Amino acid sequence: MKMINSKKGLLGSEFVLWFFRFLIIILIVASVTFMVFAVQRKNYDVRDSEAVLISENIMDCITKEGEITSESLDNFQECINANEEEIYIQMEVFNATIGIKKAEFGRKELKIYCEMLGDVKQRYPPSCLKQMYIINFDDGFKQTAYLNMSIAIASFEKNV
């Protein structure tokens, strides 16, 4: 009681009171700003739709008169205008006669990230798509084959 009654003590208690008043305001402003930024930073993820469209575009592009040739399979990357660093596409054509014929494009490690998706929690997971088609494959000899297409899209900066 004696301290508060003295001039120095009074000044000290006033200072503490003002300090906490401003601290509360600063905390409110900081938390609101943080929340607004946290909500704003979320991107609208379109990679799943993009992967489906890429798959359709590639199939339309490499199929000539209902057939896929060995040459068109090897040059499938010419069908899309994609950044090599942001995407990985793997095509596997297989049947009992030809075995497996592969063609790929882009950043290989994205495929590994896709395989780890269920097991490891990733901060920036890629978007992954696997599709299987039954095709007429012309490798000098026309035959029916399966085509497995795997697509992984990174593009984290714009979508995550």
Partner 1 sequence: MNTRISPFHDKRGFEKLFQFVIYLVIVIMILLGLLKFINNYSSGEAVKEQILAKQIALAIDAAKPGTEIVITKGKFLVSVNNKEVNARAKEERQGYTYPFFTQNRIETEQKEGILNIKIS
Of 3, 16, 27, 29, the residue at the interface with partner 1 (CB under 8 A) is: 29
Q: How many Å apart are CA 150 and CA 130, to the nearest integer?
A: 5
What's the distance, CA 56 to chain centroid? 19
Judged by CB under 8 A, does residue 82 bind partner 1? yes
Of 70, 74, 75, 80, the residue at the interface with partner 1 (CB under 8 A) is: 80
Q: How many Å apart are CA 87 and CA 120, to the nearest integer?
A: 20
Span interacting with partner 1, options 78-86, 107-115, 124-132, 138-146, rule CB under 8 A:
78-86
Span interacting with partner 1, options 39-47, 110-118, 122-130, 133-141, rule CB under 8 A:
39-47
- Please give the DSSP secondary-structure letter assigned to residue 126: P
Type of residue at 62:
I
Sheet holding 127-138, edge to edge: 63-64, 67-69, 127-138, 142-153, 87-95, 99-106
Distance in Å, CB of 99 to partner 1, minimum: 30
Judge contact between 61 and 69, C-beta under 8 A. no
Give, as ranges, the residues between 91 and 150 that touch partner 1 (CB under 8 A): none
Per CB under 8 A, residues contacting partner 1 are 18, 21, 25, 28-29, 32-33, 36, 40, 43-44, 46, 49-50, 53-54, 56-57, 60-61, 78-83, 158
